[in-house]
Amino acid sequence: MYNLPTNTKKWQFDIFLKKIFKKKTDAPFAQLLINVHPLPLFHVKSPIFLFYSASVRQGIVDSVKRALGDQKVKSVVICGQNGVFCGGADIREFGRQMSGPPLVPMIHDIEAANKPVVAAIEGSALGGGLELALGCHYRISHSKAKLGLPEVTLGLLPAAGGTQRLPRLIGVPAALNLITTGRHVTAAEALQLGILDHVTEHNTVDVAVKFALSVTGESLDGRRISSFSCAPLSDLDSLFEEAMLKVRGAARGAIAPVACVQAVRAAATLPYAQGMEREKELMATLFHSGQARALQYFFFAQRAVGRWSTPSGARWDTSQPRPVRKAAVIGLGTMGRGITVALAQAGLSVVAVETHAKQLMEAKKAVPSMLKRGAVRGGTTIEPDSITYSETVQAVADVDLVIEAVFEDMALKEKVFQQLSIVCKPDTLLCTNTSSLDVDHLASQTRHPELVVGMHFFAPAHVMKLLEVVYGRRSSPAAVATAMQLGKKMGKVSVAVGNCRGFAGNRMLKRYLEQAFFLLEEGATPELVDRALEEFGFPMGVFRMSDLSGLDVGWRVRKADGLADTSLTGTSARVRQGCRYSPLGDLLCEHGRFGQKTGRGWYQYDKPGGRVAKSDPWLHNFLDEYRARHGLVPRCIDQQEVLERCLFVLINEGFQILEEGIAAGPEDIDAIYVFGYGWPRHRGGPMFYADMVGLERVVERLERYHQAHPNVPYLQPSGLLRRLVANGSPPIHKWRNVIKNRNSQL
């Protein structure tokens, strides 16, 4: 028998070698099965994933060496354990001193082996996991496995030969697509692309072992991908130019996708060894970059928000969600339709209620076509009868959960909640899709306030990933857990936040918008402000974004709050409740300029509903006249001031939100901003950005701007921000300790 060097110590890599004898053969014809055990992870995740840690890599190196050096071993199968091949590098190792054998020579040695090496892929082969498989001579996968090179999403590139082998295997265009997007592909697609040699429904390791035995002794000359040349293409230059434009457009300012294109270009134009050098050089520019840090932080942040908690002690792991099979949506405007689609796509049976006959008729046409488009995009099918429509609220009598999405008007919502409280089963969860109104007040209109939570969707609700789940003072842990779980089922990133005006996202946005208006008053133009924000990485600057979402929305809210009063003149026109106020947005609305929908807003469009923003001389005259009327002397404002004023004030509000316990941690705020407000992911989110810039600097700049504008109270650094600086500006993952200490003193 072959000796099994087994060491199965918990928390340590262990390796398991198994000799597989060819049936009924006297000769000790052996197959080596390298089975790398995964490191167990902390949480209740199943199955357990295998990530390359230093010890895992050492294990593979040692066992491959052993297998290749053993004359009795004729071929090798590499597989994972517990149904997972390899999820790639252990990201947590990146921030530390790297140790253990590097991947590149390890994979090179596997490819150079003179015995066939077969990858048996189950679960995932991602990142370095797929790169290892690409170094093998054959790849056999289970039909349910997912494959991909997601390094770009972590601010890196596949630097273990992935950028050089994949284009050689599947061609430059397909490789560019996979490497620059980082998307995961199914085994079926991977087979079609040519990444896999065979896909099975059966036990993958058994199939791979059988296959490995069948190819023993065959020539491996045509199996080493590094020896391939990329399939020739007629116009390489324009292909790469196009690819570069695409990645630059998709994530402004992100450096990893650009480096990925450059690395694939090296594969297409250079011999393999030189291509590998280029891959290494490019990786060196990325590995310690701020963007890589931000993206890796964000990878864990988006998982952290699932481990929610509330100040009352409710938690993700102790609160039991209720089953929701049938849900209802009240109000079929834009939001209601999107929510109906999202619920149906999640497999729920939906009752869609709209009391206005015309709106109901329109929704009955719009919702099925939205569903159809979604099904085509996602390659799924939707049960056509999963949605029933009704003109009356009585139709929701037997549902498990209701999402109210009527017009943003408290009196109307109060009425709906009073009705629902009578019509629904006593244990039905009542949710409101308000974007800023008081969830506690709505709860007080019902018989079971503990069953009321906010579910704040973002338009379009069936597309946008973010869902703010707003718990009120009396919301039960089960109600919060149910809404969080339902969000997940709908494919959303659900973030639990407390109840306050605007919750977390819109509350911070308000400060950002105000600063943008003030900058216009002081001499900036919408073009200048938008350019600064877009160069920072936002897909759209604040003014282009406002034109898209409609200026009348905010105007209505300001009117309801008693702020939008354009009859005021002189100094009082620019002051509300003792603080500086800019009526610019209100004035624009009074001119009928609601943004894209009216063809005029902060920019002009070729027609109502037009999408291409053009600079508008009318607007510039309007700003000149406004400044002259108020005695404001325009000054030169640079991009740095735009960024600091708009972003630092938003960040400052984020600290205030953390201090008040509205959000449990900085990760929650960052997830909200990246998934709901277009904050560039490669900048990690506003709170991570503050950490990167340095908390002291944020305080110093805020103080300076506050001195210059003393009537803007929100420019004064928040108490938590000051306390963090006083505590030596700890890194972001330690902020919760400072927040906790503060809360316990209270």
Ligand X SMILES: CCC/C=C/C(=O)SCCNC(=O)CCNC(=O)[C@H](O)C(C)(C)COP(=O)([O-])OP(=O)([O-])OC[C@H]1O[C@@H](n2cnc3c(N)ncnc32)[C@H](O)[C@@H]1OP(=O)([O-])[O-]
> Could you tell me the smallest distance in angstroms from the CB atom of residue 341 to ligand X?
24
Closest to ligand X by CB, 160 or 344: 160
The sheet that has 387-390: what strands, in order across it? 387-390, 349-353, 326-330, 401-404, 429-432, 452-457, 466-471, 493-498
Structure tokens at 339: 């929510």
Which residues fall within 8 angstroms of residue 95, CB to CB, at 6 or more apart? 293, 296
Q: Which two tokens stand for residue 268?
A: 């297409």
Whichever of 303 and 474 has its CB closer to ligand X, that residue is 303
Cis? peptide before 384, omega within 30° of 0 = no
Q: Locate 412 and state its tokens.
A: 């109307």
When the beta carbons of 97 and 234 are compared against ligand X, the nearer one is: 97
Q: Considering the complex, what minimum distance in angstroms separates the CB of residue 49 from ligand X?
A: 5
Q: Which of 422, 348, 329, 336 is nearest to 386 (CA)?
A: 348
How many Å apart are CA 163 and CA 156, to the nearest integer?
A: 11
The whole-angstrom separation of Cα 274 and Cα 266 is: 8
CB 87, min distance to ligand X, A: 4
Nearest residue to the partner ligand X, using Cβ: 127
Distance of closest approach, residue 430 Cβ to ligand X, in angstroms: 30
Using alpha carbons, select from 538, 525, 650 the residue that is nearest to residue 584. Answer: 525
Residue 488 CB contacts under 8 Å (≥ 6 apart), including other chains: 306, 494
CB of 36 to ligand X, least distance (A): 14
Q: Which residues of this protein are in contact with ligand X, per CB under 6 A?
A: 41-43, 45, 49, 51, 87-92, 103, 124, 126-128, 150-151, 154, 159-160, 300, 303
91 or 360, CB closer to ligand X? 91
Q: What are the backbone dihedrals phi and psi of residue 54, each rounded to the nearest 5 degrees, phi first?
A: -55, -40
**CB burial of residue 500 (10 Å; 0-12, 13-18, 19+):** middle
Least distance to ligand X, CB of residue 542, Å: 32
H or E element at residue 484: helix 477-489
Which residue has tokens 């009598």? 397
Q: How far is the CB of 101 from ligand X (least distance, A)?
A: 12
Sign of the CA dihedral running 248, 251, 253, 259: negative
Task: Give min distance, CB of 496 to ligand X, in A.
Answer: 16
For residue 629, give the H/E element and its range: helix 617-629
Distance in Å, CB of 200 to ligand X, minimum: 20
Measured from the CB atom, is 53 or 428 closer to ligand X?
53
Pick the closer one to ligand X by CB: 147 or 170.
Answer: 147
On whether the CB atoms of residues 725 and 696 are closer than 8 A, the answer is yes
Of the pair 42, 745, the CB lying nearest ligand X is at: 42
CB of 600 to ligand X, least distance (A): 45
Helix, strand, coil percent content, the chain, rounded in steps of 5 = 50, 15, 35
Rg over CA atoms, the chain: 29
Least distance in Å: CB of 241 to ligand X?
27
| Residue (350 or 674) nearer to ligand X, CB | 674
Please tell me whether the peptide bond between 460 and the residue prior to it is cis, using omega within 30 degrees of 0.
Answer: yes
Tokens of 528: 């200048």
Quote the least distance from Cβ 577 to ligand X, whole Å.
43
Shortest approach of ligand X to residue 307 CB, angstroms?
7
The string of DSSP letters for 279-348 reads HHHHHHHHHT-HHHHHHHHHHHHHHHTTS-B-TTS-BTTTPPPPP--EEEEE--SHHHHHHHHHHHHTT-
Torsion sign over Cα 46, 47, 51, 54: positive
Q: Which is nearer to ligand X, 126 or 429 (CB)?
A: 126
C-alpha to C-alpha distance for 426 and 405, rounded to whole angstroms: 21
Considering beta carbons, is residue 36 or 695 the nearer one to ligand X? Answer: 36
Residues marked active site are found at 131, 151
- Closest to ligand X by CB, 88 or 321: 88
Query: Residue 80 or 321: which CB sits closer to ligand X?
Result: 80
d(CA 340, CA 123): 32
Number of helices (H) and strands (E) in the chain: give both, helices first.
29, 19
Q: Which residue has the tokens 């950490």?
A: 691
Closest C-alpha to 132, from 99, 103, 154? 103
Q: Give the per-residue SS3 of 514-583.
A: HHHHHHHHHCCCHHHHHHHHHHHCCCCCHHHHHHHHCHHHHHHHHHHCCCCCCCCCHHHHHEECCEECCC
Sort strands 326-330 and 349-353 into parallel, antiparallel or unpaired.
parallel
Round to whole Å and give the CA distance between 432 and 441.
11
Tell me 645's DSSP state: I
477: which DSSP letter? H
CB-nearer residue toward ligand X: 104 or 360: 104
Q: Do the bridges between strand 452-457 and strand 466-471 make them parallel or antiparallel, or are there none, so unpaired?
A: antiparallel
Q: Which of helix, strand or coil describes residue 424?
A: coil
Judge whether 333 and 359 are in contact, CB under 8 Å. Answer: yes
